[in-house]
């Protein structure tokens, strides 16, 4: 169970929880990526679950916790949204299937190129193989209609999960993640990290970490992978404040963030940025692969690119640095092979060069 409940015992009876992941995730030293003067560590959140890893598992343990309290005769379906290649959407589809729930996902467009198409096909195939009902929109303007269509697609009660899982409860899942890092350092008798690098999409992971790390880190550096103001320092602070208020209401105790917070926005990419492959992200993924770390160019590649640029510029000289690996490393190739790609709208199949 999350360290959140050990730190705040009153939450046990007041915050629904469902065990989905394998925690604690490892904290490992990573050699060969940075100059020898930088002590680089990685938080292996990619191994957070057997079904699917990554940073969404901690959030879903709380966001899906209340499902068990629902009358079995009127089990809900899950409704969420994300991009065509969303890790969040895939995580909800997989864990929703595990719980025997129907999942409806509204999907908005992201940059589609010859380079990104294989990744998008894989993500969509995973959702389809998990029997999710997909509602892709061709444009951002069309998302509202698709959401209404998905909302009223069946008569089952609806359990809504916000984009990225970044609600106050979802953020508390990552407060547990921050507490976990702090405990791992304490158990080893090691000093705090000088700086922790984490991806900022919807911001929930960074907000929870910021609250939970305590004295375990001197600073938290979030790297935006979506444009401002969707991702911003103000957004992280807002989410942290809402989660802290929920914690106070449920447990009678509160947390205040200790690490210095900063947000890096230079690595988002052109256009809408989200999903756009940049040279820096491509190079960071290649460098990570050379030391056995499998990343991708949408999220973790851009975050590592920011870290490597700071290291190469000498800004991390003599520092202890933590990189939070938020992508899943679970092999879904067998599952994806079962996907019925004809369930995609013809226009999306054509754009992804899928067989009709």
Q: Is residue 350 in some structural domain? A: no
Q: Is residue 349 in some structural domain? A: no
Helix, strand, coil distribution of the chain in percent, nearest 5: 45, 15, 40
212 in Cβ contact with 244 (< 8 Å): no
Q: Is residue 198 in some structural domain? A: yes
Burial group, residue 329, by CB count within 10 angstroms (0-12, 13-18, 19+): middle
73 lies in the same domain as 195: no
Cβ partners under 8 Å of residue 116, min gap 6:
85, 110, 275, 277, 297
Q: For the chain, what is the domain count?
A: 2
pLDDT surpasses 70 at 148: yes
Cβ partners under 8 Å of residue 127, min gap 6:
89, 90, 93, 105, 134
Residue 28, CA distances (Å) to 57, 210, 305, 309, 312 in order: 20, 20, 19, 21, 21
What's the chain's average pLDDT? 93
Q: Is residue 346 in some structural domain? A: no
pLDDT surpasses 80 at 139: yes
Q: Is residue 298 in some structural domain? A: yes
Q: Is residue 353 in some structural domain? A: no
pLDDT score recorded for residue 71: 55
46 lies in the same domain as 70: no
27 lies in the same domain as 68: no
46 lies in the same domain as 157: no
188 lies in the same domain as 305: yes
- pLDDT, one tens digit per residue, over 4-38 is 999 999 999 999 999 999 999 999 999 999 999 99
| CA 305 distance to own-chain centroid | 18
Q: Is residue 351 in some structural domain? A: no
161 lies in the same domain as 267: no
- pLDDT, one tens digit per residue, over 65-101 is 988 655 555 679 999 999 999 999 999 999 999 999 9
Q: Is residue 348 in some structural domain? A: no
47 lies in the same domain as 82: no
147 lies in the same domain as 262: no
174 in Cβ contact with 198 (< 8 Å): no
H-helix or E-strand spanning residue 263:
strand 260-264
Q: What angle do CA 344, 345, 348 make, to 5 degrees?
A: 90
More confident residue, 313 or 112: 313
Residue 95 belongs to what domain range?
59-165+334-340
317 lies in the same domain as 173: yes
Q: What is the CATH number of the domain that holds 113?
A: 3.40.50.1100
pLDDT surpasses 80 at 160: yes
241 lies in the same domain as 137: no
The secondary structure of residue 34, as a DSSP letter, is: S
96 lies in the same domain as 151: yes
154 lies in the same domain as 7: no
């Amino acid at each position: 169970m999350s360290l959140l409940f050990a730190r705040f015992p009153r939450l046990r009876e007041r915050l629904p929880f469902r065990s989905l992941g394998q925690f604690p995730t490892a904290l490992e030293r990573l050699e060969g990526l940075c100059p020898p003067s930088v002590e680089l560590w990685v938080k292996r959140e990619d191994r957070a679950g057997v079904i699917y890893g990554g940073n969404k598992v901690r959030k879903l343990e709380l966001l899906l916790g209340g499902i068990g309290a629902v009358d079995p005769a009127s089990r809900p379906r899950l409704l969420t949204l994300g991009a065509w290649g969303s890790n969040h959407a895939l995580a909800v589809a997989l864990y929703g299937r595990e719980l025997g729930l129907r999942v409806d996902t509204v999907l908005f467009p992201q940059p589609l190129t010859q380079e990104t198409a294989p990744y998008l096909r894989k993500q969509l195939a995973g959702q389809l193989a998990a029997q999710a009902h997909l509602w892709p929109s061709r444009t951002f303007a069309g998302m509202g209609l698709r959401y209404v269509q998905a909302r009223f697609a069946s008569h089952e009660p609806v359990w809504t999960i916000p984009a990225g899982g970044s609600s106050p409860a979802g953020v508390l899942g990552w407060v547990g993640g921050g507490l976990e890092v702090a405990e791992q350092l304490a158990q080893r008798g090691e000093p705090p990290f000088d700086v922790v690098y984490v991806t900022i999409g919807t911001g929930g992971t960074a907000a929870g970490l910021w609250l939970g790390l305590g004295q375990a880190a001197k600073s938290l550096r979030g790297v935006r992978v979506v444009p401002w103001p969707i991702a911003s320092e103000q957004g992280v602070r807002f989410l942290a404040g809402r989660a802290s208020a929920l914690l106070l209401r449920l447990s009678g105790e509160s947390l205040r963030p200790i690490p210095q917070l900063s947000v890096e926005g230079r690595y988002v990419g052109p256009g809408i940025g989200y999903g756009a492959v940049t040279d820096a992200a491509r190079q960071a993924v290649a460098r990570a692969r050379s030391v056995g770390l499998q990343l991708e160019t949408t999220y973790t590649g851009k975050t590592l690119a920011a870290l490597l640029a700071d290291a190469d510029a000498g800004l991390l000289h003599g520092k202890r640095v933590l990189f939070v690996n938020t992508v899943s490393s679970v092999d879904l190739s067998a599952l994806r092979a079962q996907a019925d790609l004809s369930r995609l709208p013809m226009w999306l199949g054509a754009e992804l060069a899928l067989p009709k």
